[in-house]
């Protein structure tokens, strides 16, 4: 399913703007340098850890593994809520089987690939799960960029903003907006790992 998703989105790579490509290439350089020590940890931070940061974590997780890059992706928020059901559904509709466990309001989602379980749920940046040593912090919303304090163990801090799909909630455009966001973030994470792999 990962290969199928890559085949679907790789044509979108040419649509990445020059400015955005430069941002992603700069982040790729930071991660590539970090990989020289053997592993790179990338933490995506947003306000609620429900949509953009979760999707970026998931996409970097699966694409880095596809390209045999030793990258651990994590995510958190300045507060915890839940992995937004509309975002989960949009990811599932791209062929990824996210299995829901635990109880609402903040269930656990598991993605199983090659006997390797990956876990996703909303969490605050200071919770133990993301206290993962030296890491590259990537803020994906303006609020987190402004309000996320210095996190212990931060190796580098980088901003890669995405428009929040939440604005479409409850509208006829909701499903398409979330699908578009999955494709957008997936395409950029694909570009990122390809840039890391090209030189690394």
Chain position carrying tokens 């649509």: 15
Instruction: Check residue 127 and give its pLDDT.
Output: 59
Alpha helices for 14-167 (secondary structure H): 18-35, 52-66, 85-92, 142-147
Report the half-sphere exposure of 101 (CA within 13 A, side-chain side).
11
Cα 25 from Cα 28, distance rounded (Å): 5
Task: Record the tokens describing residue 164, joined without a space.
Answer: 């929040």
Residue-wise pLDDT tens digits, 61-103:
999 999 999 999 999 888 889 999 999 999 999 999 999 998 8
Q: What kind and span of H or E run contains 13?
A: none
Confidence label for 200 from pLDDT (cuts 50, 70 and 90)? very low
* H or E segment to which residue 55 belongs: helix 52-66
The structure's pTM equals 0.93
H or E segment and range at residue 143: helix 142-147
Cβ proximity of 199 and 32 under 8 Å: yes
Q: Where are the beta strands (DSSP E) in 132-175?
A: 135-139, 154-159
- Note the pLDDT of residue 152: 62
> For residue 63, what are its two tokens?
């694409």
Residues facing residue 166 across a β-bridge: none
Q: What is the pLDDT of residues 166-188, one digit of tens each?
A: 999 999 999 999 999 999 999 99
Q: What is the CATH number of domain 2-8+40-199?
A: 3.40.50.2300
β partners of residue 110? 99, 119
Q: Report which of 52, 56, 97 is spatially closest to residue 73, judged by C-alpha positions.
A: 56
Domain ranges of the chain: 2-8+40-199
The pLDDT value given to residue 128 = 53
In angstroms, the CA 167 to CA 165 distance is 5
Q: Nearest CA to 196 among 77, 15, 36?
A: 36
């Amino acid at each position: 399913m990962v290969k199928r998703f890559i085949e679907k989105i790789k044509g979108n790579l040419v649509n990445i703007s020059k400015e955005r490509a430069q941002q992603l290439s700069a982040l790729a350089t930071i991660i590539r340098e970090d990989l020289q020590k053997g592993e790179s940890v990338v933490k995506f931070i947003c306000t609620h850890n429900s949509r953009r940061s979760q999707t970026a974590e998931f996409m970097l997780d699966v694409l880095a593994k596809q390209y045999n890059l030793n990258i651990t992706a994590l995510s958190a928020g300045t507060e915890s809520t839940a992995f937004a059901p509309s975002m989960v559904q949009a990811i599932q509709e791209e062929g990824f089987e996210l299995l829901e466990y635990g109880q609402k309001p903040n269930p656990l989602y598991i993605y199983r690939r090659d006997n390797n379980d990956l876990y996703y749920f909303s969490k605050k940046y200071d919770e133990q799960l993301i206290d993962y040593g030296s890491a590259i912090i990537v803020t994906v919303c303006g609020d987190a960029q402004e309000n996320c304090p210095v996190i212990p163990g931060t190796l580098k801090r980088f901003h890669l903003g995405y428009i929040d799909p939440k604005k479409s909630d409850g509208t006829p455009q909701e499903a398409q907006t979330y699908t578009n966001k999955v494709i957008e973030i997936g395409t950029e994470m694909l570009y990122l790992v390809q840039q890391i792999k090209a030189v690394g």
